[in-house]
């Protein structure tokens, strides 16, 4: 699983040719979708097909199936949904795969957005029965805005669902992307026999395994053999494929990379049908890492000295050690464990002695990493989301957007004797971005305000405060609905206004909270000199 070390030279990190060659072997992508479309199940199935794990398991699968590798939090296992993003790195053929599983629920959209800053492509899952849902559309929009090519997978084809051609029409009409199916289902939704591979005209027939826990056997038949085996069902698939060809629904790599089209595959992640084809498509079509622009828009070459940025911080993964893991996307050069790099935000050195490769909750020490790789830096208390780390020539990558919170509540320790644990937990959750933590002199440190995009974040914060830090909390909802960024010059005048409160976020930013849009509009109209800057909306684009 660990990448091959580069040829060593007098300069640490190998030659430029080594770096470029290793980067070309990387595929870094996110699995995204509306909730309950099967992201975590697909993530597990991909790892299974790459033979990283021996048996897959859905959260609410049949008896004997394990929990998914990527869903490791207690709440995730209990609810059967992804609450936090997870990273998995593994090898497939001669390619190193960096796969990032994301939360689907809109309440955790900020976490998904952070992950999308760190990938080169995305796999969008669509539920065959539900088609394009609200979060699906928002995620397509974000990928287009960020220039991320999208591969679309129609999942759950083994269950009753929509007509395949109707689904393609919906994708084209609602996303503006031209769907170009690479595989086409043989059998209607609910009668999934296999796929017609439109690239070579063969029939790939799948055979079910017990509970879908192991790789589904696959047989490849010629068109003539498929006709003899499936009869009219095969003929229908061929006719629909020919119709697609007549309308121009054929893959064009340039259009895909230009975000004008989306390759489509049909699959059943829970049965492991069509998952092998997706891995092959990712290796063959998904883009490798390229030079990444810094905050001034200047691309930093892949073979420049090491650089990368932190896109996620996660604590509580190892109950035995209470460590804090920072996920780093390598952007240029070679990362070597033990190297001392500079934190672009603080200008201070950071030692990378504890660097790990991640497979869900499981981790192992990693010695080297290349552009596209995701590295877990352990005990990274000095690192925050968006921090740039570099060696050699200084570089700062663009900051990661913070979403506008819409729900607010005062957090207090239920047991005052646990105040030390309370403060540690608040600091940790704020640093991870689980919630935005706001404070003010009026409220004091013992009553921080949690600001969140969606109310389920309150549940996660409360659960983790109690079970990870031993500090049960109470939450008192506040009436505020809107947040604006302000400054120290405007803060005193805002603090005297009705239905307004000014608090400070952990990063030093001042936020003015309003109970309703009318209170905001009155201030903007009557006192235009005040600084009230809108934050990025939580709708993901």
Which pLDDT tens digit goes with each residue over 389-402?
999 999 999 998 88
- As a three-state string, the secondary structure of 479-490 is CCCEEEEECCCC
Three-class DSSP category at 476 = strand
Nearest to 40 by CA among 105, 134, 109, 128: 105
* pLDDT, tens only, 118-128: 999 999 999 99
Q: What is the DSSP string of 120-185?
A: SEEEEEEETTTBS-HHHHHHHHHHHHHT--EEEEEE-TTSS---HHHHHHHHHHHH--EEEESEEE
CA distances in angstroms from 93 to 165, 283, 310, 345, listed in the order given: 33, 9, 28, 38
The pLDDT value given to residue 8? 31
Q: Is 34 annotated as a binding residue?
A: no
Question: From residue 55, how far is each of 43, 51, 66 by CA, in Å?
Answer: 13, 9, 8
- Identify whether the C-beta of residue 394 lies closer than 8 Å to the C-beta of residue 344: yes
Q: What would the CATH number be for the domain defined by 292-390? A: 2.40.30.10
Question: What's the topology of domain 407-534?
Answer: Alpha-Beta Plaits (3.30.70)
Could you tell me which residue, 110 or 424, shows the higher pLDDT? Answer: 424
CB atoms within 10 A of CB 533: 9
Of 38-52, 296-310, 323-337, the range with the lowest mean pLDDT is: 38-52
Structure tokens belonging to residue 520: 């905001």
- Measured in whole angstroms, the distance separating CA 177 from the mean position of its chain's CA atoms is 21
| Residue ranges covered by each domain of the chain | 26-285, 292-390, 407-534
299 belongs to an annotated ligand binding site: no
What are 463-474's pLDDT values in tens digits?
999 998 999 999
**131 labelled as ligand-binding?**
no
Q: What is the mean pLDDT of residues 232-251?
A: 97
pTM of the model: 0.84
pLDDT at position 317 is 53
Buried b (16+ CB within 10 A) or exposed e, 77-88: eebbbbbbbbbb
Residue from 372, 381, 445 nearest 411 by CA: 445
Most confident of 101-105, 316-320, 513-517: 513-517
Name the pLDDT band for 381 (thresholds 50, 70, 90). Answer: confident
Task: Report the pLDDT value the prediction gives residue 210, as an integer from 0 to 100.
Answer: 77
Q: Do domains 292-390 and 407-534 have the same CATH topology?
A: no
Q: How does the average pLDDT of the chain come out, rounded?
A: 87
103 belongs to an annotated ligand binding site: yes
Instruction: Give the pLDDT score at 106.
Output: 65
Question: Residue 316's pLDDT is what?
Answer: 60
Could you give the percent of the chain with pLDDT greater than 90?
A: 67
d(CA 393, CA 370): 17
Query: Strand, coil or helix: what is 318?
Result: coil
User: pLDDT digit string (tens) for 188-199?
Assistant: 999 999 999 999
Tokens at 527, concatenated: 């006192």
Residue whose entry in the numeric block shows the structure tokens 């690479």: 182
Given a contact cutoff of 8 angstroms between Cβ atoms, the answer to whether 71 and 342 are in contact is: no
Lowest mean pLDDT of 204-213, 314-323, 341-350, 372-381, name the range.
314-323
Does position 71 have pLDDT exceeding 50, yes or no? no
For 26-285, CATH gives 3.40.50.300
With tokens 């072997």, the residue in question is 25
pLDDT of residue 273 exceeding 60 = yes
Q: How confident is the model at residue 11 (pLDDT cuts 50, 70, 90)?
A: very low
Determine the Cα–Cα distance for residues 81 and 39; give it in Å rounded to an integer. 9
Q: Is 259 annotated for ligand binding? A: no
pLDDT, position 320? 53
CA distances (Å), origin 277, targets 27, 95, 305, 441, 520: 15, 15, 36, 58, 52
Structure confidence at residue 446 (pLDDT): 93
**pLDDT band, very low/low/confident/very high, at 69 (cuts 50, 70, 90):** very low
User: Is residue 541 very low, low, confident or very high in pLDDT (cuts 50, 70, 90)?
Assistant: very low
């Amino acid at each position: 699983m660990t990448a091959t070390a580069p040829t060593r030279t007098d300069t640490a990190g190998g030659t430029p040719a080594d770096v470029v060659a290793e980067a070309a072997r990387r595929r870094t992508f996110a699995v995204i979708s509306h909730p309950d479309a099967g992201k975590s199940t697909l993530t597990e199935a991909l790892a299974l097909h790459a033979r990283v794990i021996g048996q897959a398991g859905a959260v609410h699968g049949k008896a004997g199936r394990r929990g998914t590798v990527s869903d490791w939090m207690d709440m995730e296992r209990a609810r059967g949904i992804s609450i936090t993003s997870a990273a998995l790195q593994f090898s497939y053929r001669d390619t190193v795969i960096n796969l990032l599983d994301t939360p689907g629920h809109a309440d955790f959209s900020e976490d998904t957005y952070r992950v999308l800053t760190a990938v080169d492509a995305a796999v969008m899952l669509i539920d065959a029965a539900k088609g394009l849902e609200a979060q699906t559309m928002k995620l397509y929009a974000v990928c287009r805005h960020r220039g991320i090519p999208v591969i679309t997978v129609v999942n759950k084809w083994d269950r009753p669902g929509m007509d395949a051609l109707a689904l393609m029409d919906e994708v084209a009409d609602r996303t503006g992307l031209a769907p170009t199916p690479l595989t086409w289902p043989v059998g209607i939704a609910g009668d999934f026999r296999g796929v017609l591979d439109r690239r070579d005209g063969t029939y790939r027939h799948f055979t079910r395994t017990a509970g879908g826990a192991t790789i589904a056997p696959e047989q490849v038949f010629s068109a003539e053999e498929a006709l003899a085996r499936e009869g009219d069902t095969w003929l229908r698939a061929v006719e629909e494929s020919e119709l697609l060809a007549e309308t121009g629904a054929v893959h064009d790599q340039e259009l895909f990379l230009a975000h004008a089209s989306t390759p489509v595959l049909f699959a059943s992640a829970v049965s492991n049908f069509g998952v092998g084809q997706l891995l092959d498509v990712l290796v063959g079509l998904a883009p490798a890492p390229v030079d990444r622009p810094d905050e001034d828009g200047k691309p930093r070459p892949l073979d420049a000295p090491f650089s990368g940025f932190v896109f996620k911080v996660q604590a509580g993964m190892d109950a035995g050690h209470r460590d804090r893991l920072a996920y780093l996307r390598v952007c240029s050069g070679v990362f070597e464990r033990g190297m001392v790099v500079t934190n672009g935000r603080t200008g201070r050195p950071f030692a990378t002695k504890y660097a790990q490769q991640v497979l869900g909750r499981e981790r192992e020490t990693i010695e080297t990493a290349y552009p596209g790789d995701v590295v877990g830096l352990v005990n990274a208390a000095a690192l925050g989301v968006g921090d740039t780390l570099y060696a050699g020539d200084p570089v700062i990558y663009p900051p990661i957007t913070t979403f506008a919170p819409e729900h607010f509540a005062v957090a207090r320790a239920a047991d005052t004797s646990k105040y030390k644990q309370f403060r540690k937990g608040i600091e940790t959750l704020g640093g991870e971005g689980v919630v935005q933590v706001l404070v003010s002199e009026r409220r004091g440190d013992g009553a921080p305000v949690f600001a969140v995009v969606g109310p389920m974040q309150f549940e996660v914060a409360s659960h983790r405060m109690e079970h990870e830090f031993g500090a049960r909390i109470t939450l008192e909802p506040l009436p505020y609905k809107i947040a604006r960024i302000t400054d120290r010059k405007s803060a005193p005048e805002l603090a005297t206004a009705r239905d307004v409160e000014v608090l400070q976020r952990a990063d030093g930013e001042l936020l003015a909270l309003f109970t309703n849009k009318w209170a905001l509009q009155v201030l903007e109209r009557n006192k235009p000199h005040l600084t009230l800057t809108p934050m990025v909306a939580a709708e993901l684009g």
